[in-house]
Every structure is written in C-alpha cells, then in structure tokens.
Chains A and B, each alone.
Chain A
Amino acid sequence: MSETEQKLRSEARDLLEKGRVNHIIGYEAGSLKFSTTPLITSDKEDTDRLVINPFINNNLSVFLGEVGGKAGIVARGCDARSIVSLIQDKQLAREDVFIIGVPCGGIIDLDKVEKLTGLDRDEIDDIAWQGDKAAVTIGGARKEFPAKEVLTDDCLSCEPPDPREYDLLIGEVGPLVTDGELGRSKIKELEAMTPEQRWEFWKSEFSRCIRCYACRQVCPACFCNRCFSEETEPAWISPLPRWQDNLVFQAIRMIHVAGRCTNCGECERACPVNIPLRSLSKKMEEIVDELFHYRAGTDKEAPPLMAAYQPEEAEDFIR
C-alpha cells in the first residue's frame, strides 16, 4: 500500500466517523487485472479498501447526484474540474461535497499497452510505474515503456493534473508526464483530412455504435433528466442505431457538453466498440477555448458558458 493510499484511507475513515460526510466515493480494486471499481459507501470499515493507482479510470463525480447527503469524493484533476462544472450548473452545492483531491500521475491506457505488447490485458502479468517508465511483465520477462507511450491521450494533454478545487489534498503531486502535442495526435490526423475524408472516417466509426449510451451514462456533464435522444415528440433522432442517427446523437451530445466536458476521457474508455469520442470532445474543448477563452471547471464562480447570456454577444440571434 502506498503512503497516499494509507493517508486516503485514514482520512476517509475519519470523515465518516466524525460525521463530516455521509458517503465516501472512491476506488477499490476491481475484479479483473489492472482494473478498479467505484466504491460508494457509508460504512467506515470499507474505507480500508480504497486504492489509488494508475488504473483509476472512472470519473466518480457522475455519482454525486445519486447519493443523498454530503459525499466525500476522491478526485483527480479532471474530476475536480467536473465537480466545479456541476457546481456552476447548479447541479450540486459546494457544501454538499467534500473533495478529497489526489495527485494524479496519469492513467495507463491498457489499449496502448495491448498494442505495444500484442497481448490482451489478461495475458499480462504486471504493469507498474518505474520512475517515468511503465514496467510491463509478461511471462517473467520485463519490458519498459516510456510513460508517454502508455498514458491515455487525455492524461498527456491534461492541465492541470492536480485538483485545484479541494477540501483536502492527499499526497504530493507526482511527476506527471504531459505532452499536449502527442495527446492530440489523433486530432491532428483528423485535421489533416479533407472534409470528405473526415466524413467517411466518422461514418465508418459510427457504423459500429450499438447505442448502449455508455458514453452518456458515464459522463458527469450529461446530467439531463431526460436526454434529447429519448424524446419521442418530436423524435430528434431515430432509436434505430443507424450510423446517421448515431453520428447526430454524438454530435448533439458533444455540443451539449461543450464548456462542461473536462476531457476525463471516460466516454471513450467506456465505449465497447472503440469509437474515438475523445477526438471530438478534445477538439470541442479547443474550440471553446479559442472562441470564448473558457476552460471548463476552472472557476466555480463563473457563469456556465452555454447557459449564460451577455449583452455584448456577437451573434444577433441570441439577443
């Protein structure tokens, strides 16, 4: 157990014991190799199972709307930004959440490790940080890969990886390797395409979509009580998972979360058919930054970008 984990466990136990929170939302070891799973509990004994490691995938702020009372939540940089964004959108009151900030060294992208090793994750014996390298053990043999090759693209372009909004910060910020350019390499490929090529690309990607809505369900920014995609009068899109409707669903979802999405990358990780959703969300973040000089979840006092009107708006239609 790392020092950070030890501290997290005792602080979480303390919060429950003293009644400062009703629930703890964190991560515990998952049932598969290199997996973690959300731990949502009000039992202080459960806090001994909390973990922090390079496989803490989920953006736990998605559960904040569900647990009643005050929640103590383990938050990485991106999660803390999501929480701030939820506060801005009045989905959450600041006093109803106790943010346990954890320094994030980045999430290891198991798809990248699988590509590098040619094996599936369950066939790998161990993956661990060794300084700024990931040591991967397979059948007793050890291979090292630079952090840049195994971190998720989101983590590579994360800024800042440490939570800026918190009630308690656990541990010191580790050396996170970031490389914004590398993190947007898929986007660069898309930008280099002609519009026709891009259309064909997304057509092919969205042909696989099975409309399981995992992207929406794991997204803290998707907090609508009823999603437009399920409206029937009018039906904005067909419930049939044709590529056209799948694409329109995702395009509208991306526009709805613009200015709210903190690029945690959970939508792309959750997608069972590997649609590179993060290429859309990251690009959207860049556009929002360029047009409005706005970065999601960085200022809890700021009015939410897409829900606020200013008299000097450039576009006539909005006045």
Chain B
Amino acid sequence: MKKIKKQDVPALLVKWQQDFTVFAPSKKSGVSRMEVWDGQDTAFLDRNRNTVIPPKANFLLNIEKMFDFRKEGGSYTLEPAGGEAPRQLLFGIHPCDARATAIIDMVFKDAYEDNYYLGRRRNSVLVGMGCTSPYDSCFCTSLGFGPAEAADVDMMLTDIGDAFVIEEVTDKGKELLAGAEGVTEATADDTKKADAAKAAAAAKVTRKINVEEIRKRIPLSFDDKKFWEKVSAKCVSCGICTFLCPTCYCFDINDEMLKSGSGARYRNWDCCSFPLYTKMPAENPRAEKWRRVRQKVHHKYAFYPELFNIIACTGCGRCIRQCPVNWDITQILASLPAGAPAAAEKK
C-alpha cells in the first residue's frame, strides 16, 4: 500500500499530464462529469460524489466520427477517422463506474471487436477513488461489490482525511506511481484508517436489492403483461435513465452527406426507451411502452447475465436519482411477481 497527501496530488496530476490527458470530476460545465483537469480545481479531492454524466462518455462518445467517405464516380473511398485513440487518465472514477466499464467491455469485444470503444479503453488509465458519500439512490453493495472495490481500476485511492491510501492494482498503476514525488509507503495506521473508511462507506449504502430472488423471478416475469403495464405507467419514455446509465451502450449510426455524395459517418447514443428506436432499419418491435420498460429491466437483469454471466447494473443509482418521474428500478425489481402469469394473461 502507498500513500499520498492530498496537497501532493495536484503535482502528481501535473506529472501524469505529460503522458495523458487527465480527467477529473468537475461541475464547471454546469453538470457534473469527467472534465479535462484544468490544473487548478481540487474540489474533487474532498468531495467526490457520483457524477451526473457517467465516465462511459469517455469511451463511448456521444458524437463519434467513424470515418469519412468520398464519392468519386461510382465508387466510395473510406478514410478512417481519428487514428490512435487519445491517452487518457481518469482520476477519481468510482467503483460502480469502473465496474460498469468492465461490464460493457464484454459486449464490445464479443463477436466483433469494436475498436472505437476498445481503442479508448486500451489507452486509458483508471485511477479509482473509493466513494465516501454514496447517494440515497445507490445500491452497489447488493451487486457483489461495494464503494471501495478495487478490482476494475489500475489503482485505488481511499480517503483517510488529509491523505489517500493507494492500492496498486495493475502493473500500469504501479508504473505510474514508481518514483512519483509525494508517494510514500502507507503505515499500518494508514491502512487501518483506510479499512475503517471503506467499512463506513459501505454502511452508508442503505438501498438494497435481493439479487438471488431477482434471478429466480425475472425469467418468470417476461410474459406478465399486466405487471409491466403497471410498472411502466408513469414512464415518460425519455432517454435519461439510458444515457446516464454507465452500462447502457446502444448507439445509433448517422451519415452526414454533402450534395456531392461525400460526407462522414458518425455514431451517437441511442435509447431503447425511445418509441422510434430501431425504426430506421426496420420497425421497433416494442411499440408499446410496457415492452420498452420490460426490455430495460430484462436486458440488465436477465439477458446480459445469460450472455455474459453478470448483471448489467452496478447500482450507481443515476436512473433513480435523475428520473423526472422517480421511476425506481429497485422498486420494480422488488415487486417482480413470485410466479409466472396465468396463461390467459400472457402476451
């Protein structure tokens, strides 16, 4: 275990800036999200709550140019956009968001390797920060980890007051700390303080879901139209819960074309709550709202576990906290019916 005083962190970030674009949580744009560190702001060292925009925005861009295309005569020439992904260091990412990133890595390198996403991931360093003030919407401890989980980052910081205890997780993390000024060995007393801080943080996560019960019930709920109609009634079909979800990864593809026929292809976030989702290539198979709400819940708690053996939700609580109508997935999961619907009610 290493240790760094909070006052020495800015110098370390400056050092890292030589090799990386350093990002840190900030509200300077008017909403909290990962911003390029300005070399000044250190507010996140003392108060670092979940950002509104999840750090997935650093890997899955909301506007990503895929390639340029040029029309010449009857054929097109394609020019890949961007080149090498930028080297970025995300300072202060929370365990829920780091876990979420690890979860969606699976889909982006499954049948097809998505190099737009994976390129950014490969060139990124995650400096995790234990979450010390979870929101009342947080429920990470129900999903097999907690606000101090270090497994998904390169190094993990735990706030012990005027300093951070640092756990080196990957070789990349170790290299970044080697010989860094201000980084010392943590004492036994420091690690004791860190353990206490971790336990205190976990105790603050009071919202719970029962994953075992959900695993049993969710497959039975698929045909329960009445249940889904009831729990979807107040949904307004906006994109907040999807766009702010760190594990939602759908994107739409759009071309911007000049009259000449040349232009560029882009992708941007898409959302299965939108009535027009997938309307462009075909039809939306989920025209009714209850089907879309069912899709959201089943994708995270049934389909993704079937495909990748992990629930695609990390309990970050954004979908609850930011929802304009307080649609609360933990309530939906808790109210899943114990049995399958009678045949007559199936749809």
Contact = CB atoms under 8 A, between A and B. Distances in A.
B266 A213 contact: no
Given A239-B254, A269-B324, A270-B238, A210 B136 contact: no
Contact of A37 (B133, B254, B268, B326): B326
Interface in A35-90: 35-40, 57-58, 62-63, 66-67
B62 A210 contact: yes
Q: What range describes how many residues of A lie at the interface?
A: 35 or more
Given A31-B320, A210-B62, A212-B239, A37 B135 contact: no
A205 interface: yes
B239 A38 contact: no
Given A31-B331, A240-B266, A241-B268, A212 B237 contact: no
Q: Is chain A's interface secondary structure helix, strand, loop, or mixed overall?
A: loop
A123 B134 CA distance: 10
Contacts of B280: 232
A31 B248 CA distance: 23
A270 B238 CA distance: 10
B324 A274 contact: no
A269 B240 CA distance: 13
B299 interface: no
Residue in B49, B240, B331 with the greatest tally of chain A CB atoms within 10 Å: B240
Interface string B286-311: 00010000000000000000000000
A71 B32 CA distance: 39
A208 B244 CA distance: 13
Contact of A240 (B63, B133, B237): B63
Given A37-B234, A210-B269, A270 B252 contact: no
Interface of A: 30-33, 35-40, 57-58, 62-63, 66-67, 120, 122-123, 204-205, 207-208, 210-214, 216-218, 226, 230, 232, 238-242, 266, 269-270, 272-275
Given A39-B234, A214-B324, A239-B268, 13 more contacts: A32-B136, A32-B326, A58-B324, A58-B325, A67-B233, A212-B271, A213-B239, A218-B236, A226-B276, A230-B276, A240-B256, A241-B63, A273-B52
